Chains A and B, each alone.
Chain A
C-alpha cells in the first residue's frame, strides 16, 4: 500500500509517533472495526476511529435519530432527525474521511444475526456501544465464541465503566457480571438521565483501546475495569479476579448457543 500526498498530510501527526509511523498507519487503514450501537458511546468512538483512518467501520443500529439523542450522540445533527442512525453516521464519516469504507447494518443485534454481522467483514475489533444488558451479554458471548476482542462500556448519570476483552488475556464481561439483571430493576437512561459528555469520555476510551489493539501497542484494559466518576473527576482501575468456571470463557465452557435475554427498550 502506498500513501498519497494527501494521506501523508492527513495522518502526519500519527506518522510522526514512533509507536504508529507509516507502518502503523497502514495497519489502521487495513483494519476493520465493528461498532454496535451508534448512540452516546458509539458516536464518538466511530468519529475518532474514522478520523484516525481505520479503513473499514461497521455501524449496527436499528434506531432512527431523535431530537433527544443530539445532547450526546454527536455523530448525528439536527437535520438528521428521523433518519436511520446508521445512515446519518455513515454520512458524517464520509464527510470526515473519504479513506473509510462504512458498512451499515440497519438492525438490532440478536442471536440470529450477530455472528453473521461480525463475520461479514471479519472484523478485527468490536466496540460495544449498546445501552442494554441483553445486548451486552450477547456481544460478549458472540465475541468469546468467535475469538474476537471487544471493548465494553456503560454510562449512566455521571458514571461510566469500561473494560477490554482479548481472547486468552483475561476475564470476559460475563466473568464479572454473570447474568443480566432483571429488566425491571434497571432504570434506563431515559429515566435516570446521563450527562452528555459521559459517552464522549468513555466512547473515546473505547476508540483508544481499539487503536492500541490494532497497532499492538501499550497495555489494554484487559483484566481491569476502569470506573469513572465525573462528579469527583476520578478514574479508578479495578484489577479483576479471574473466574476459571465462567460458562462461556472458562476452562469447561457450557454456553455454546447465543441467548436472547428479555429486553427492555432504552436509549443511550
Chain B
C-alpha cells in the first residue's frame, strides 16, 4: 500500500501501526514528534492503536528552535 510521509511517497508491504511507522521512518524520539494523520493530530498515547491505511497522509512535525528533536 501507498502512503505519504512528509510529502514523500512511502510503500508499505503490510498494514502497520503508527508506532511501527515511526520506527520504520527512523524517528528517534517519537514522544516529541507531533503527528498529523490526514486532518487530525494523533497524541503519543494513540500511536500503538492507530493503524495506517492505504492512501493516508502523514506529517511528522519536528521541534526546531536552535536545536531539533527528530
B-binding residues in A (CB < 8 A): 130-133, 136, 154-157, 159-161, 176-178, 181, 185-189, 191-192, 194, 225, 227, 236, 238, 240-241, 243, 266-268
Say whether, besides A181-B29, A185-B32, A241-B36, A131 and B65 are in contact (CB < 8 Å): yes
Tier of interface size on chain B: 10 to 19
Nearest CB of chain A from residue B56's CB, rounded to whole Å: 14
Write out the residue numbers on chain B whose beta carbons fall within 8 Å of the beta carbon of A268.
Answer: 65-66
Whether a CB of chain A sits under 8 angstroms from the CB of B68 is: yes
Q: Would you call A156 and B40 a contact (CB within 8 A)?
A: no
The contact sample of 19 A-B pairs, CB cut-off 8 A, is A130-B65, A132-B67, A133-B63, A154-B63, A156-B65, A159-B64, A161-B62, A176-B61, A177-B61, A185-B32, A185-B69, A186-B68, A189-B66, A189-B67, A238-B59, A240-B36, A241-B39, A241-B41, A266-B65
Q: Which of B34, B39, B59, B66 contacts A156 (CB 8 A)?
A: B66
Q: Are A187 and B68 CB-contacts (below 8 A) given A178-B34, A241-B41?
A: yes
A227 to B70: give the CA distance in the assembly, Å: 14
**Is there an interface contact between B39 and A131, defined as CB atoms closer than 8 Å?**
no
Q: Are B66 and A267 in contact (CB under 8 A)?
A: yes
- With A177-B61, A225-B61 known to touch, is A132 a contact of B32 (CB < 8 Å)? no
Check A181–B69 contact: CB distance below 8 A.
yes
Distance in Å: Cβ of B68 to nearest Cβ of chain A: 4
Whether the pair B65, A133 counts as a contact (CB closer than 8 A) is yes
Q: State the CA gap A191–B69 with chains docked (Å).
A: 13
Pair B36/A156 contact, Cβ less than 8 Å: no
